[in-house]
Structure 1
Amino acid sequence: MKTVVITGAAGGMGSATATLFKSKGYQVLATDREEIKGVDFQVVGDVANEATWQKISTVIEQNSLEVSSLINIAGRNYFDLIDDAKKSEWLNMFEVNVVAMVIGIKHLVPYLRKAPGAAIVNMSSISAQIGTSGYAAYVATKGAVDSLTKALALELAPQIRINAVAPGWIETPFTVAGLNLSPDPVAYRKEAEQMHALNRVGTPQEIANVIYFLASEESSFLTGSIVVADGGYLIKN
């Protein structure tokens, strides 16, 4: 049975992705900082810590898992204007959003090379293409994810495909919490919806569908691609 490894599996998009892969017959090995429900195997820990990936490798070997996909969703955000930028926050942003992917890919590549049609999917963002005031650190890390994806697509081909998905505004607990901090959440949400050609924000399930497509044989001729799933945000703004 195929196994998928998913980071950030306790979050909105991570949980939706784990649920979808389970419904498709995959075993799910999930990791996050907090406990994850409804998966076959889990490792609670920080993906920026190499010890977490060593534990994941131990689970794979002890259970003879056939890992065919790695989905890198774990990440964080950070708001700060450049005048107040904190070096520690910037370093942590790159450690969590970029370096953790590198460590994870390094540890799982030996397993993925054994699986026919192996694939890696990284979480990017349309922010890497448009820039967002006050979120320079986040934007910079997502730009790095795009470049990393393209470079590793060349390095890992032809045995392993690697692509990234760049979502627009997705309704997750994180984005809803931010929305509720605005002076007028209802008006802000309506404004956000109207910024998309489809006049709505996306759902975690819709991004999970894109991730599954990129990990499946249906996308067997795609590698090194940054697939935008933004409800037409980029073409409207």
Structure 2
Amino acid sequence: MTQLNLNGYSIDLTISAKANLEQVEWSSPKPEEFEVETTNEVTTIRQKSQGNNLKWLSILGSSHPQVKLHVNVPENSSIKIELNAGGCTLEGQFDCVETNNNAGNLSVEKLRQADFHLDAGNVNIQQVETAKIALSAGNIKIGQLTSDAKLKVDAGSIKIAQTEGGTLEARTNAGNIKVGVQAGVSVKADCHTNLGKVETDLKDSNGPASNQILHLQAQTNLGNIKITRA
């Protein structure tokens, strides 16, 4: 299985997963800003240092213009990304994606496992099996969650359009939480808000047609919690 490691400080990044691709390909308008190393099935792409810029980027934000980088990887590759500043778009199907970013939005089409840490930025995932996401400031939006997830935001909202069961922990200090539950899935919920309200439109008539159960723990200090049928 192919693994891509990417390190940079100011990148506008797009990674595309291709079904019939056998090795990593990459392109950039400024290829001289990157160095690439491949060992076995692991490819590492690094943005070259720009002197003292690295010291101040995490404090002041990027003073260096973002460089576009497009990487093609085989489908179901694992990705590890570390960026000081820059947006990330992941197109196609991935295995495990791990990020540790200071500032920038993250958009992912489909993956098996997400492990995301962002200081500032929004996370948008179309489909994921399991997820562990922590944001300091930003919103989490997931289209389809098929198993367990642990989601934590200091300031921002959490929205899941459809979950299919498992264990879901959703916590935010300031923001709303909204969870859509697939038809046929029962819910065991422990929801709490200090300043806001908890709402649900789930009824007994929507009860489970199978043994699927969602164990939901949702907590916000300032905001509303809503549980609906997807």
Q: Which has the higher contact order (CA 8 A, sep 6+)?
A: 1
Q: Same fold (TM over 0.5)?
A: no
Alignment TM class, shorter chain as reference = under 0.3
Query: Which one has a bigger Cα radius of gyration?
Result: 2
* TM norm structure 2: 0.27
Quick check: which one's helix share is greater? 1
